[in-house]
Amino acid sequence: MKLEEIKEKLAGSEYDFLRNNQHLGKNIILLGLGGSHAYGTETETSDLDVRGCALSSREEILCGENFEQVMDIPTDTTVYSFTKLIQLLTDCNPN
């Protein structure tokens, strides 16, 4: 799948949650690919495994709240909070 095809797919209604979820939207700082696309082993039938990171909102920071992650099972998408991602990285967690 070419970059333009990926962008087009992410712009579709199937991925509206990336734009409409209270924790995501303009708080997303990074989106990338996981699974077969990340390893270059994808086939024509491979799904798109999206992984990402989002900052906490001002309100969440001020209130001491933190979401860990937002998962969307149908699209195999997981977007971690920045705090959760740092924890995963320091634990050498491959997620």
**Sorting pLDDT into bands at 50, 70 and 90, what band is 29?**
very high
Residue 53 CB burial class (10 angstroms; 0-12, 13-18, ≥19): buried
21-37 burial code (b ≥16 CB/10 A, e <16): bebbeebbeebebbeeb
Instruction: Tell me the mean pLDDT in the region 3-12.
Output: 92
Question: Which domains, from first to last, does the chain contain?
Answer: 3-90 (3.30.460)
List strand residue ranges (DSSP E) for the chain, in order.
28-34, 49-54, 69-72, 77-81
Bridge partners, 34 (sequence order) = 49
Q: What is the mean pLDDT of the chain?
A: 91
Residue 3: the pLDDT is: 86
- For the stretch 36-74, pLDDT in tens is 988 889 888 888 999 999 999 888 888 988 899 999 999
